[in-house]
Each structure stands twice: as structure tokens, then as C-alpha cells.
Amino acid sequence: MFDVIIIGGGAAGFFTAIHIAELRPELKIAILERGKEVLGKVKVSGGGRCNVTHAEFDPYELVKNYPRGEKELLGPFHSYASGDTVAFFEQRGIKLKIESDGRMFPVSDSSQTIIDCFLNEADRLGIRVLRHSAVTNIDPLNNKDSKTKGWKLTTIKHTYECQKLVFATGSNPKIWKMLEGLGHKIETAVPSLFTFNCKDQRISGIPGVSTYADVEVFENKLADSKITMRLKSQSSKKPLLSSDGPVLITHWGLSGPAILRLSAWGARLLSDMSYRFKIRVNWLPEYSFEGALSLLKEIKEVEAKKTVLRTKAVDVPRRLWINLVAASGISKTDKWADMNNRILEVLAAELTECELKIDGKSTFKEEFVTAGGVDLKEINFKTFESKILPNTYFAGEVINVDAITGGFNFQNAWTGGYMVAKAISNS
Ligand SMILES: Cc1cc2nc3c(=O)[nH]c(=O)nc-3n(C[C@H](O)[C@H](O)[C@H](O)COP(=O)(O)OP(=O)(O)OC[C@H]3O[C@@H](n4cnc5c(N)ncnc54)[C@H](O)[C@@H]3O)c2cc1C
């Protein structure tokens, strides 16, 4: 009989086990991992560099990065947040560095540093790490001689018994099914953190172009006409979602922080729309349509003899300007003096209300997560204990928490793991 069994040898599983073992060295702890390797996602995370956390040390600001879990994680972040993560690794000889956007990585720029740390700690603390141990059945233990009811776990080769059970199984559908069978409600899983597929002349042939923009999401049917003119009726429609930040044009469509944020906050909504919708991009976020139009009229006065294409009129990347000018029906040789009001309106609309049809999504290779998991209402966030099942806890992505990219998803795993460990060691 183990005191604690943790199902899942990922980020949350190891962090939980290490903290329990440090707080209560006498407890017999095992991690059951279905794969032949542990910490698989840590290995590939952050492009192989592992973005362990984010340099956001205020819990109130930190929670704002969680489309699901914002309310629930506020209390736990007061107990354990990014600063504690930094201290945990530093105490183990791993220095972290902060990049300009706040992401934190090991100085080695290698996720193997983090993996080695966890494996060494598990070894030092006597944690049993049982690989090739996919849990296929979970049954309550009815031991008449013992006051504490525990759990019996079945794997392909063995059965194990434990008093306390921790689910750190990430986004594993089979485990969610089992949990449903045991009485938990599971929010259905949909992808979060993805990029938008878009084939459109205005963004074609210019991969790598990145610029700050405002982006709004609309239902397909609400914005169904081709934009050659600014449509007043559309402008008044309220967007379903909006975001701002750098937008990166890729071979397939659009990526960058502003798009990833939409994919996270809109994970369920965009899934419901089968990833077919329209976006409206303001490539000149400091200007409205009217502001951009006045600006273009002024430029026309000042630069009358110059060609539109060659004038660096507004603050958008040159290659994007060329595409937007072409999309407005302006030829290479057209001069500002040739522009009538109607054409200037079309150009102002392309710059500030550029409508693009999104058709599908692509995986964001640096990081992706699943929205969905154990219903947050069924977890006590003081302890991360199940409100439905006795002696059962959750940590990491198994619960319905996920974050935008930047190290926040791991922070959820570290915080959950720490909270579970504290609760178990106090019980
Ligand atoms: C490509 C990629 C890059 C990422 N990069 C980052 C990043 O840089 N920063 C960041 O914050 N987040 C990143 N993430 C997200 C982050 O990896 C996850 O949020 C995090 O790994 C969740 O940890 P976890 O322990 O809850 O789940 P996981 O890491 O998924 O671990 C769950 C473990 O449970 C095991 N398991 C599942 N079912 C069973 C079973 N029945 N029996 C036994 N074992 C089982 C699995 O094999 C797995 O090892 C990335 C994700 C991906 C996919």
C-alpha cells in the first residue's frame, strides 16, 4: 500500500511528488506513468527550451492570463506563484532568465535541465517512478480494517493500492472518462492556443511580416460581403471577441500574440463555429476609419506627385502596405493626385477595417493546450481536493484550467502540485 499514488509523470505529477516527499519524507509515494518516458511535454516545451514560468509576480495580474481558472487560481497564487517557482529552481542550482516579453527559461536554454532536476530530485527523495504503467481502472478500496478508505488502481501488469490519489494526467480523454464514471463532471475538451488559417491576397506572399494591430472576431454570416467599400452596417456590429498586440503573417495565415490570445479566450466559441469566421484587423490601431481617411487626404495634398505605392504614408510594414494598396485597386503607377475620395475610403477601410475570412486552424508549435477538464466547481481550491471523491486530488491540465502562451500553463501545474502536496502533507 502506497501512502500516495500520483497518476501521470508530467510536470504536475513530479512537482506534486517532490513537494510531498520534502514535506513528509516518511510517506511512500509512487508516480504511475503510462509512457516509457516521463516528462514528455516538458521536453518539447517552449521549442525545447521550456518556458517554465512568466515574470509576473503579482497574483492579481497573473490570473488575468487564464481564460479558464482566473477566479479559482487567485487564492492559490497567493500561496504559490511565479516567484516561488523561480526560488524552487534556484534552490536546486537552476538559474532562470527573463526574456523581453516576460517569459522565463532556464539559462541553459534546454528543457533537459528541468527534466534532470526533477529526475534527480525524485531519486534523492525515494519517489518510485513506475513507467509503462497506464492506469486502466480505478476502484474505491473498501478495507474494513482500515479507517481510511483508499483506492485500488489497475495497470496492464499490476494493481496498486493507495490512501491518497492524485490525478496529474494532463489532457487524457480516457482518464476524464474514468472520472466521469466515478461521478465527476468533465467540461468537454477543445484545443486552445492555435493560429488562424487564411488565404487572402492581402496577406499572401509576405510571411514573416509582423505588426501591432487590433483584431476583432465576427460570425461568418454577420460579415458576409466582400470588402471593397466600407460597410457602415457592419461597423456597428459588436465583435464576439477582440484583442490587440503583434500579429504575425505566416505562410498559412495569421499568428502572433494577438491571434493566440483570441484562440485561448475564444477556444470554445471558435470550436463551435468550426473555426470558420471573419476577423476585422485594424493595421493602424491608433486610427479609426475616419482618422485614417483624413490622414490619407492630407497625404494626398502633400505628396500629390508621388506614386501611392512608393510613399511610406502610414506606419505599417512596407510589404503589407503594397498588398493593401493593390487590394484597394490602386495600380503601381497611380499617383496620390489620381486618388478620388472613394478610393481613399477603400484604402482607409483596408488599413483600419480589413476583413479576412478564417478557414480552419493550425497548431502553434511552441506551445499548445486543451481547454476543458474536471469542472472547477467540483474542486476545493484551498487544497485542490475533489469535492466528489474522498482522498482524491488534482493538479495541472487535468482540470478545466488553461492559459495563454508564455509560461502560464506550467505555472498552473506548479501551483496545483504545490497546493496538493501541502494539503496531503497536512492531512
Ligand atoms: C508542444 C508543447 C509545448 C509547450 N510549451 C509550454 C511552455 O513552454 N510553457 C508552458 O507553460 N506550457 C507549455 N505547454 C503546456 C504544458 O506542457 C502543459 O500545460 C503541462 O505539461 C501540463 O502538465 P501536466 O502535468 O498537467 O500534464 P502532462 O505534462 O501532459 O503530463 C501528464 C502525464 O500523465 C500521463 N498519463 C496520462 N494518462 C495516464 C494514465 N492513464 N496512466 C498513467 N499515466 C498517464 C501522460 O503520459 C503524461 O506523462 C506546452 C505544450 C505543448 C504540447
- Out of 134-148, 199-213, 353-367, pick the least confident: 134-148
Percent of the chain with pLDDT over 90: 91
> Please, what sign has the CA dihedral across residues 75, 76, 77, 80?
positive
Residue 346 pLDDT greater than 80, yes or no: yes
- Nearest C-alpha to atom 35 of ligand 1 is from which residue? 8
Cell of 160: 496498486
Atom of ligand 1 nearest to the CA of 171: 30
Q: What's the CA-to-centroid distance between 290 and ligand 1, angstroms?
A: 47
User: Is the distance from the beta carbon of residue 414 to the nearest atom of ligand 1 less than 6 Å?
Assistant: no
Q: Which residue has the cell 486543451?
A: 370
- Nearest C-alpha to atom 5 of ligand 1 is from which residue? 45
Q: Which residue has the cell 487590394?
A: 327
Q: How far is CA 258 from CA 80, 92, 178, 228, in A?
A: 28, 35, 36, 25
Question: Strand, helix or coil at 337?
Answer: helix
| Model pLDDT for residues 163-196, shown as the tens digit of each residue | 999 999 999 999 999 999 999 999 999 999 999 9
Q: What's the CA-to-centroid distance between 10 and ligand 1, angstroms?
A: 6
Spatial separation of the C-alpha atoms in residues 259 and 255, rounded to whole Å? 5
Residue 223 has a pLDDT of 44
| Model pLDDT for residues 389-412, shown as the tens digit of each residue | 999 999 999 999 999 999 999 999
Percent of the chain with pLDDT over 70: 95
Spatial separation of the C-alpha atoms in residues 219 and 244, rounded to whole Å? 19
- What's the rounded mean pLDDT across residues 359-367? 92
Residue 226 has a pLDDT of 42
Residue 229 has a pLDDT of 44
C-alpha closest to that of 201 among 323, 107, 342: 323
User: Is the distance from the beta carbon of residue 135 to the nearest atom of ligand 1 less than 6 Å?
Assistant: yes
- What's the rounded mean pLDDT across residues 104-124? 98
pTM: 0.93
Q: What is the mean pLDDT of the chain?
A: 94
Residue 232 has a pLDDT of 46
Give one DSSP letter per residue of 207-275, joined into a string: TT-EEEEEEEEE-GGGG-S--SS--HHHHTSPPSEEEEEEEEE-SSEEESHHHHHHHHHTHHHHHHTTT
What is the distance in angstroms between the CA of the first residue and the CA of the last residue of the chain?
17
- At residue 71 the predicted structure's pLDDT band, cuts being 50, 70 and 90, is very high
- What's the rounded mean pLDDT across residues 22-46? 97
67 touches 400 (CB < 8 A): no
- What's the rounded mean pLDDT across residues 46-74? 97
Give one DSSP letter per residue of 105-142, joined into a string: EETT--HHHHHHHHHHHHHHTT-EEE-S--EEEEEEE-
User: Is the distance from the beta carbon of residue 170 to the nearest atom of ligand 1 less than 6 Å?
Assistant: yes
Contacts 24+ apart (CB under 8 A), 239-243: 239/280, 240/266, 240/269, 240/277, 241/216, 241/217, 241/265, 241/266, 241/269, 242/214, 242/215, 242/216, 242/217, 243/214, 243/215
Residue 142 has a pLDDT of 75
Residue 203 has a pLDDT of 97
Cell of 214: 487590433
Q: Is 421 left (phi over 0), alpha (psi -120 to 50) or beta?
A: alpha
Query: Given the DSSP bridges, would you call strands 385-386 and 379-380 parallel, antiparallel or unpaired?
Result: antiparallel
Q: Is 376 left (phi over 0), alpha (psi -120 to 50) or beta?
A: alpha
Q: Which residue out of 169, 365, 408 has the highest number of ligand 1 atoms within 8 Å of its CB and is therefore the one to mutate?
A: 169
Q: What's the CA-to-centroid distance between 114 and ligand 1, angstroms?
A: 14
380 vs 221 pLDDT, higher one: 380
| Model pLDDT for residues 138-158, shown as the tens digit of each residue | 999 876 655 557 999 999 889
Domains of the chain (ranges plus CATH)? Answer: 2-191+370-425 (3.50.50.60), 194-363 (no CATH)
Q: Which residue out of 16, 19, 39, 45 has the highest number of ligand 1 atoms within 8 Å of its CB and is therefore the one to mutate?
A: 45
- At residue 312 the predicted structure's pLDDT band, cuts being 50, 70 and 90, is confident
Q: Could you give phi then psi for residue 279, rounded to 5 degrees?
A: -120, 155
Q: 3-state DSSP helix/strand/coil percent for the chain, to nearest 5?
A: 40, 25, 35
Residue 137 pLDDT greater than 90, yes or no: yes
